[in-house]
Structure 1
Amino acid sequence: MEINLNKHISGQFNVELEQIRNDVLKMGGLVEQQLTNALNAVNNFDHDLAKQVLENDIHVNKMEVKIDEACTRIIAKRQPAASDLRLVLAIIKTITDLERIGDEAERIARVALESFNKAQQEFLVSMDNMGRKATTMLHDVLDAFARMDVDAAFEVHQSDKALDKEYEGITRQLMTYMMEDPRSIPKVMDVLWSVRSLERIGDRCQNISEYIIYFVKGKDVRHTSEDDIKENVL
């Protein structure tokens, strides 16, 4: 689905902008698959799938470099202004967050390579619901980016609260495990780091939603309350 790019004297400029946008969506699709695979690897104790996630992280990194270089060329050659410049800047910021989501997926996958006894596997069950929420946030923000839909982006922005609340609850639960059985501490810490990664993924998705709003509305809404965004920007 094409977004409303400005028409330029050079039709090639439109082609370049559209190609970069499509590359961002391809990168987003790869990152989304990485996260899904990482969570499935943990849930199923699938070492092969976890290793696949680790190996594929390099492809995410290469895509970030490729898109970043394309954006730099556009800025140097085309000297974009107004909404075109906002689009390029939003893309540069978005791919940075997508690359970091890929890093978090890699960290989660590493947990699947650890060995857990039957009792310790209970720790991983707590990740399942939070993992689904984080995956949904990523899917929805990529969909909002594809359509440059500020309303959908704002919904993602708001949904981070639920993920944060889940993170706090799981953290308290895991801390209780450690206090009751100090021998569980090493394994619980592995799970805690994974849960923290899911919480960070939510933050990254929230960032991307802010870049979408910035592109469409021309307003930088970072460090702005949701009430202010709703009243003064949307």
Structure 2
Amino acid sequence: MLDNMSLSRHISGQFNAELESIRTHVLAMGGLVEQQLTDALKAMHRQDVDLARRVIKDDHKVNAMEVAIDEACTRIIAKRQPTASDLRLVIAIIKTITDLERIGDVAESIAKVALENFTNKQYNLLVSLEALGQHAARMLHEVLDAFARMDVKAAIRVYQEDDRIDREYEAIIRQLMTYMMEDPRSIPNVLQVMWSARSIERVGDRCQNICEYIIYFVKGKDIRHTSPQEMEIFMDNNR
């Protein structure tokens, strides 16, 4: 007969392997989304039609990965009935892949802008998004690194970066509004650039969400909707 303790260890080890496999797949999905975003931004700035079409074509891979990971998490909940930190990890993963999938949608949308026709003067408006795009892509890279290590301090640093992205976005919008007033004929294309800027800014918000999930898993604390004062106290205590 199997010893009850060894059976327990066997089940626990198998469970750990399942959780680790899912985490690995999340990071693989994150890597693909990061590549999609980087390629989309590059396609937009260079007006590279072939690269843009490749980003659009590959979006289904991101969607498929989200579905597969979500199904794996559902199986774990049904079969293992996880509790405490294991349940928090599964919940954090389910929420993280939702935000990653939406960043993938942003990449697809940005790639579609690269297929539009811009005059040389209007093309300079796309170039103005380059710094914002690089900042958002760097934020995504850093939050994925924090997720891989479940590093609360790193997550807090990334979380605070979103304020800088917001300020850059607001400056770009002011610039684009001025451009439209000076040249009303440019309004259709400028609106597309505005929409792209908003999409890039949303990447920062998605990364901030993932930071919250990391903190929720490690600390068991839900920091969503906390007041600025409470958030400041939490960050000071965890730097």
- When normalised by structure 2's length, the TM-score is 0.93
Where has structure 1 moved over 6 Å in runs of 4 or more?
A: none
Distance change in 2, residues 1:8/1:212 (3 Å): farther
Correspondence for 1:135: 137
27-36 vs 112-121, greater mean Cα deviation = 112-121
Aligned to 1:148: 150
- Does the CA-based 8 Å contact 1:217-1:233 persist in structure 2? no
Q: Distance in 1 between matches of 2:73 and 2:99?
A: 16
**Structure 2 match to 1:68:** 70
- 1:230 counterpart = 2:232: no
The answer to whether residue 46 in structure 2 is matched with residue 44 in structure 1 is yes
C-alpha displacement of 1:11: 1.2
Count of aligned pairs = 228
| Deviation by residue 1:60-95 (Cα, 9 ceiling, x = unmatched) | 000000000000000000000000000000000000
Tell me the distance in 1 between the aligned counterparts of 2:26 and 2:69.
7
2:188 matches 1:209:
no
Distance 1:8 1:171, change over 3 A: farther
Is it true that 1:108 corresponds to 2:110 in the alignment? yes
Percent identical: 68
Corresponding residue SS for 2:120: coil
1:185 corresponds in structure 2 to 187
Asked if the contact 1:42/1:112 (under 8 Å) is kept, the reply is yes
Are the counterparts in 1 of residues 73 and 90 from structure 2 also a CA contact under 8 Å? yes
Give yes or no for contact 1:156–1:209 (8 Å, CA) kept in 2. Answer: yes
Amino acid paired to 2:168: E
Residue identity in the other structure for 1:56: D
Structure 1 gaps, min length 5: 1-6
Is there any run of 5+ residues in structure 2 with no aligned partner, and where? Answer: 1-8
- What is the CA-CA distance between 1:228 and the residue it aligns to? 3.4
